[in-house]
Amino acid sequence: MTNISRSSFTDEIEQAEPQREFSMPHFIYFKGDEDSDRYLKHYRSAMILYRNNDDLMCKIFITTLQGEVQDWFYTLLPQSIRNFDEVSLVFTKEYSSYRSIKKKSEHLFDVKKNPKELFHDYVMRFKVEKARIVRCNDSITKAAFQK
């Protein structure tokens, strides 16, 4: 019970007050069953207007965690988090097992049309898979689709 009453944040972060003009952005809450890197990107995007306020970034981040993830945060040592980079680091270390596997352009050769699938549905599925590949090679995309 002592750890719950003692924050993992330093006193400086705990005592920081939000700016008067602060308006809580809309967040997708993190429940622990998704890609932690993707979630941090979502959080940073939502907080883009406040990214220079490290104390606020820390305090608001914790409110976006739910269930066991929020419980996990309270297991961190008291006074152990000094800034948002540290929160991000311990968060990604703890939840890295849910990271999305980065696919390469060659993955598109595995996207095949099912015999009973409509061509339109196949094209849509192919496009979704292509969109998941960062810096997808256009010549490989074309060859995979033609195959």
Q: What is the pTM of this model?
A: 0.64
For residues 24 and 74, membership in a common domain is answered with yes
Compute the distance between CA of residue 6 and CA of residue 53 in angstroms, rounded to an integer: 22
What is the three-class DSSP state of 9? strand
Compute the distance between CA of residue 122 and CA of residue 107 in angstroms, rounded to an integer: 15
Compute the distance between CA of residue 85 and CA of residue 16 in angstroms, rounded to an integer: 17
Q: Are 101 and 53 in contact (CB under 8 A)?
A: no
For residues 92 and 128, membership in a common domain is answered with no
Q: If you average pLDDT over every residue of the chain, what do you get?
A: 86
What is the three-class DSSP state of 17? coil
Question: What digits encode the pLDDT tens for the residues 61-113?
Answer: 999 999 999 999 989 999 999 999 999 999 998 887 765 556 788 888 888 88
| Rounded percentage of the chain residues whose pLDDT exceeds 70 | 92
| Greater model confidence, 134 or 83 | 83
For residues 92 and 27, membership in a common domain is answered with yes
